[in-house]
């Protein structure tokens, strides 16, 4: 029997892996509610650094 924990190898993630290309000045985001499985869609102005 092979233990599940530690059996999956994924690449390391870096800040640039989370960059999202956006056309215009707004983007769609998923709003979560803690403790719920239901999400909402919001349109937001992204923070650009």
Compute the distance between CA of residue 42 and CA of residue 27 in angstroms, rounded to an integer.
8
Rounded to whole angstroms, how far apart are CA atoms 5 and 15?
25
**pTM of this structure:** 0.46
Distance between terminal CA atoms of the chain?
Answer: 47
Query: Domains of the chain: which residue ranges?
Result: 20-44
pLDDT, tens digit, for every residue of 10-47?
888 899 998 878 788 898 899 999 999 999 999 999 88
Q: Are 20 and 27 in contact (CB under 8 A)?
A: yes
């Amino acid at each position: 029997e092979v233990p599940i924990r530690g059996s999956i190898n994924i690449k390391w993630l870096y800040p640039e892996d989370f960059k999202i290309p956006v056309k215009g000045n707004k983007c769609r985001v998923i709003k979560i509610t803690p403790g719920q499985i239901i999400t909402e869609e919001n349109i937001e102005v992204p923070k650009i650094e």
